[in-house]
Each structure stands twice: as C-alpha cells, then as structure tokens.
Structure 1
Amino acid sequence: MLVDTQEQADLRAAVRTLARSYGHEYYLEASRSGRKMDELWHDLGKYGFLGVHLPVEYGGGGAGITELAIVCEELAAAGTPSLLIIVSAAICSELIGRYGTAEQKSAWVPRLAAGEAKMAFSITEPDAGLNTLAMTTTAVRDGDDYVVNGRKYYASGVDEADAVVVVVRTGADEHTGRARLSLLLVDPDAPGLERQQIPTEVVSTEKQFSLFFDNVRVPADRLLGTEGEGLTQVFNGLNPERILAAALENGIATYALDKASRYAVERKVWGVPIGQHQGIAHPLAKAKIEVELARLMTSQAAALHDAGLDAGAAANMAKYAAAEAALGALDQAMQTHGGNGLATEYGLATLWGITRLQRTAPVSREMIFNYVAQRMLSLPRSY
C-alpha cells in the first residue's frame, strides 16, 4: 500500500472532496452533451491543483509529478477522469517549464497553473504512428516565421486549447539521414490550420482531431527549446505522460472496485450478500492486488522522475501495469453487478472506452514490451 506524506495525504483528500462534489454524472453529462468540464477545471486551477508541480516563481506549488499524479488519480477515482490534465498539465507544462524561454514561461506557466489556459499536444501522424522519426509534417524557416505543412491525427482537446505543442520535422542529420525534430507552439486558429473531429466510441469530454497544416506560419519565437533537438525534448516530456496515464487508470480502477465492493455487500441472493461467495470475492481480491501493485510502480516512476533520475523503464512499466489492472478491475466490477454492470445509472460501462484506450495510447503495450525487452533484458532490437 502507498504511504503518502502528510502534505500528499492532505492534497489527496482535498482533490477527492472537490472531484466527488462533481462526480461521474457530471462527467457523463458533459461528455454526452459535447460540452467541457470547465467548472471543474476552473476549480482545479483556483485551488492550485493544476500547477502543484510547477515552479513557485511562476505560480505553481513547487512539488513534483508525484503530486500531479495524485491529482489525476483522485479525479478518476471520483468518476471524472481527465485526459487534458495528462496533456496540458503534464506534457505541455513540463516541456515549457524545462525548455521554454523566460518569456514563454512567463506567458504560459502562470496561466496553465491557474487553469486560465489549456494546451494540446500533437505528435502522431497517420503514416508514422509510433515511428516518430518517420513523420513528414515539416517546418521550414522563412524569415521571422516557420512555415508548417503536413498532417497530424489523434490530437486530444485541440478545440479547447489556447495553443498546441506540435512536433515537426525541421531537417535531417547530415550523417545518418535521421529526422531532426523541433517543437512549435501553434495557435489552434492559425490561418491554414484546419481540424476535423475523429468520431470515437469513447465517452470523454476531450475530443480527438486530425490536423491539416497548409502553409501555416508560426512566429520563430514560438519555437520551444532548441531547433533539431525535439526528439530528446519529447522523450523527456513523455515520461510524465506515461506516469499520469497510469495514475488515471489507477483512479478508474479504484472507482470501479469501490463500486463493486459496495454492491457485493448490499446485493443479496439466496439470503446472503453476493460478496460472501468466493466466486465474487476472489476475483475482486485479485483485481485489488493488481491495482495496488500498479500504484506502487506508478509511485516509483514518479519518484524517479522527481529525483531527476532515468524514469523511462519505470514509467513504461507503470503505464502497462495500470492499464492491465484497470481493465481487469473494471471488467470484474461489471461482472459483479451482473446485468446492472451495463446499465448507465451504475456508471461502470460508461468508463470502458477511456479505460481500454490506455492499453493502446499514449503508447501501446507492444511497444512497452519492445522497450523492456531491449533496454532491460538486452535482447536484440525487433523494429
């Protein structure tokens, strides 16, 4: 079991209270109606939860990814999971905090911390997928601008973002021919940039989009970090992404098991609570064990990242373990509820899509297996 410090326990309790005051019905209504969870996001910023990991000098709480993961987990545990907190608060805030100029930090970090601004992140392309170096979206310097052309897809929350961190190809290594990547802060309403929503069956307030860049001009001062070093920068931003994705899954799993255990005590068949039967109790116990193991791995990954150590392996394993544990917990919770597991009013099946998504995104379990095989077992590279 995780043992929080007193400060972390207080943070967890405060976020839990706030998130539960909204709850899954609020999340479901917002998702189904197409509106955003703006009220919840505003409160998260108001009480300092969105910027808990950001520097104090920019309006943040001065803590770390460990604390942001607590925020993300408790939101999901209340039935209000947020993909945007992974994208905006983890990836984009982390990238700007680490690589942004003084002007960029001053312009963006206080607003992100306060919940007054949101950011989206766009890296995936239809013909590249996880092969980032194969991307074809280019940015060519032209005077005081970069001119961007190409296509991205599965960019989350672009419709509510004030800027999009876009990974682009700005050249190639003269010796290896490998793409040199860079990061640009792009206005989502820039002339020449069109977006098209991708219909999905995931119940979520964040929508998915394809982005089409047709000679989109981006001021050169919107370059984030150093031109050509975007790949390294992205990898440093993706560890927090994986950690927060794991935290989200851990939260959903906790939500599902809480519902299942209450139902197993209240629901009676043949005169006894169904939880008295080992056919119900043992699968739930197994799911609980697997969730707690995933939470421990997530905690380790966050601690490594906050200590400035290599968190790559731990973040990938945490993300894998949490996705698998959450799917198992949610499935068993639905099974415990019988037919009610599919009823909207019980709030379980409505979370299946976002839970299943994490097995595929932001990195598939197969790519995690590749990483572990190559980096931790010293096996030959398979791709």
Structure 2
Amino acid sequence: MDFAETDEHRDLRDAVGRVAAPYGGDYYVDHARRGAECTELWHALGDAGYVGVSVPEAYGGGGGGLVELSLVCEETAAAGAPMLLLLVTHAISAAVIAEYGTEEQRKDWLPGLASGREKVVFAITEPDAGSNTHKLATTARREGEEWVVSGEKYYISGVDDAEALLLVARTGRDDRGHAQLSLFIVPTDAPGLQKIPLPVDVLLPEKQFTLRFDDVRLPASALVGDENQGFRQVFHGLNPERITGAALCVGIARYALGRAARYANDREVWDRPIGTHQGVAHPLAKAKIETELAALMTQKAAWLHDQGLPAGEASNMAKYAAAEAAIAACDAAMQTHGGNGVAQEFGLLPYWGLARLLRIAPVNREMILNYVAQHSLGLPRSY
C-alpha cells in the first residue's frame, strides 16, 4: 500500500493553488455577498487547463480522471474560493456527455467545457420528488422528429451563467410502473423555458432557480445516450458529484482551519495567544483530524471510480464525512474568532453556509445513512 501522492498530483495541487491564490477569500466572499459569479477565477482556471482537467484530450481537455478533478475542487476551495459549479458542469455534465453523448454532442460541448468558456448545468431536482428519482414528473414526449418537454425543476444552480442544461426527464414507465428516464441537452434560451430565481439566505456566487418547461421543443439530436436508459446514465454522474462535493468540503475545512490557526496565534488575551488555551486548541485539532480522515476517504472514492471499481459506498461515506468535517471546521473557526466570527470583516460565515448546504446537497446525510445501513450493513430497506 502506498498513500503518497504522485509528483504529478502534488504539482497539480501547487499549480491550482497558485492560480487561485490571487483571488482567494476576499474575492470569493465579495462575490458571494453580491450573488455574482466568480467569472475571473473560472476563466483563469480554464485558461490554465484546470477547469477541463478531466475532459478527454481529444476535445481539448486534460485527459485526467476524477482524482484530478477532485484535486482542483479541493485546492480552489482551500484557497478560499470554492467553485460549486465544477460539481455540476464537469463531475456530471461533462462526464455524462463524454461517456454517453454522440460524437456530434461531444464536439459541440466538450471543448467549451474544457476551456471554461461554456457551462452545462444539471437539472434533476423536482419539488415533489425529493430523493425519489422514480417520482420525477417532468416529461419528454415524442412528436414527430421532436421531443416536447413539460414540467418543473427546482433548486437548479447556475442556470443564468450556463449555455445549456443536462435535463433528466421521464420518457416512459416500465412494467412495474416505475419511471423510465432519458437525458437531454437543453439550451438555456430555449423557447418555453422559464427561469425563475429562487432566493436563498446562503451567501453564494451561484444563484438558484426554479425552471418551468412549457412544451419546450427539442430536436431528436438533443437526446443523450439511449432513450429510457437515463437512470443508469444519471448514476454515472452522481458518484462523481458526491466525490467532488466531498473534495470541496475538504478544501473549505482546510481554509477555515488555516484562518483559525492564524488568528489563534496572533490574537492575545491576558498576554498570551488564545491558541495556548486547550478550549481553543482542542476543537481546532479535532476538526483537523476529521478533515484529514475525510480527505482520505475522498481520495479513495475518486481512485475507485477512476479504476472502474464499485465506488458507491466510498462516495457516500466521503461526502458524509467531508460535509461533517467542513461544518465542524467552520464552526470551530468562528468560535475561535469570538464575536469576530460573524463580523463581515473576517468573512467566515459564507463558508459555514456553503458547508451547511453541502450537508444537504447533492444528497442529504439521512439518505447516505440509509445507503450504508442497507448496502454496507445488510439491514432491511427503510424506505
């Protein structure tokens, strides 16, 4: 067993950190408060080849895997600028198009995704379906040579900053009455598509939307992969989304702990740094341990996926552990800062909010516990 990172991966970490460092926490927090996309950083990462690190080389990408994409997610977050849309545009959309798209779809979309000049976000969530994908109500029906989409999606990130979305829609039912799903590439300016802002109190650069499809007409070429095989194709992207979400959380935790450690060394009360007190030091040390454990599981999950090995258990565990670690690290960092933990000057609260969101999305901790109980422990299914 060898737990040492390769020279290439260490170099990748360093290079991504150097690109992200000039932007950092002040840049990110300013954009989060204004609800403005971090376009300059996204383009800088794209120009350096890191946004498209996992896109096949034949389409302008780096030809790496999920291990490399996870490192990019982690290091940008560790620099203070977590890029949420890397999860949906690359861990899901680019990966699904590369695996299941036609050659025409790959040529149309992957070069732009690799360069960072285009984004394809992901639309699966619905208000009445929750985690039950079989209950998706948005439909796509054939009319001649076209598909006609009707329905509603909920909590879709970054639609205003994307050229298209990868849509999951119901195209039939099987013999048991379960939904049969298909995937479609839908331009965000398609006639009949309404994009309604969904206000949230979490401070994020990325905006959330409700989408309404009022008989949106798509050409036959919009179908990705095989008709009615979308359930299997979607799950090709869900494990990577969870893994990159875990990597983002690890990076957030590292950033928060770095800020807290500096403050605990510099802040003096009663003529000594507050970090000398175990009441301050121990919560930070505990959070550091939890962060390192989460990082190990995240790396394992990414490696399993890239090796073509079963990665569902590790992906879920990584996402669970990393979200918990990020919340604990942000909370400990804010507590270390005392009243300054919620002061705008110190800019910690947006990271706590994002970590708290990632405890829910892209899959909530309760569904992960259900998965582990059923698949890892062999307990009866609870839902």
Q: TM-score, normalised by structure 2?
A: 0.98
Check whether the contact 1:37–1:205 (CA below 8 A) recurs between aligned residues.
yes
* Matched AA of 1:202: V
**How many residues are paired up?**
382
Q: Deviations over 1:259-308 (max 9, x none)?
A: 11111111111111111111111111111000000000000000000101
Structure 1 residue 4, shift from structure 2 partner = 2.0
Residues 1-383 of structure 1: pairs in structure 2 closer than 5 A: 3-173=4-174, 175-383=175-383
Check whether the contact 1:2–1:296 (CA below 8 A) recurs between aligned residues.
no
Structure 1 residue 99, shift from structure 2 partner = 0.5
Check whether the contact 2:245–2:319 (CA below 8 A) recurs between aligned residues.
yes
Q: Deviations over 1:304-354 (max 9, x none)?
A: 001011111100000000000110011001001111111112121122211
* Matched AA of 1:240: P
Check whether the contact 1:344–1:350 (CA below 8 A) recurs between aligned residues.
no
Query: Gaps spanning 5+ residues in structure 1: where?
Result: none
Counterpart-to-counterpart distance in 2, 1:42 and 1:265:
35
Check whether the contact 2:32–2:350 (CA below 8 A) recurs between aligned residues.
no
Structure 1 residue 113, shift from structure 2 partner = 0.4
Q: Deviations over 1:203-247 (max 9, x none)?
A: 111111000011100111010111101011111110110001001
RMSD over aligned Cα, in angstroms? 1.1
Structure 1 residue 2, shift from structure 2 partner = 6.3
Counterpart-to-counterpart distance in 2, 1:255 and 1:322:
13
Query: Gaps spanning 5+ residues in structure 2: where?
Result: none
* Matched AA of 1:163: A
Counterpart-to-counterpart distance in 2, 1:93 and 1:330:
31
Check whether the contact 1:374–1:381 (CA below 8 A) recurs between aligned residues.
yes
2:168 aligns to what SS in structure 1? strand
Taking every aligned residue pair, what percent have the same amino acid on both sides? 59
Check whether the contact 2:36–2:206 (CA below 8 A) recurs between aligned residues.
no
Check whether the contact 1:150–1:214 (CA below 8 A) recurs between aligned residues.
yes
* Matched AA of 2:34: S
Q: Which region of structure 1 is more displaced relative to structure 2, 294-303 or 26-35?
A: 26-35
Check whether the contact 1:19–1:80 (CA below 8 A) recurs between aligned residues.
yes
Q: Deviations over 1:47-89 (max 9, x none)?
A: 1101111211111111111111111111111111111111101
Counterpart-to-counterpart distance in 2, 1:205 and 1:229:
34
Q: Deviations over 1:69-121 (max 9, x none)?
A: 11111111111111111110111011001101111111111110011110110
Check whether the contact 1:2–1:295 (CA below 8 A) recurs between aligned residues.
no
2:262 aligns to what SS in structure 1? helix
2:345 aligns to what SS in structure 1? helix
Q: TM-score, normalised by structure 1?
A: 0.98
Q: Deviations over 1:120-169 (max 9, x none)?
A: 10101111111011011000011121000001100000011111001000
Counterpart-to-counterpart distance in 1, 2:355 and 2:341:
15
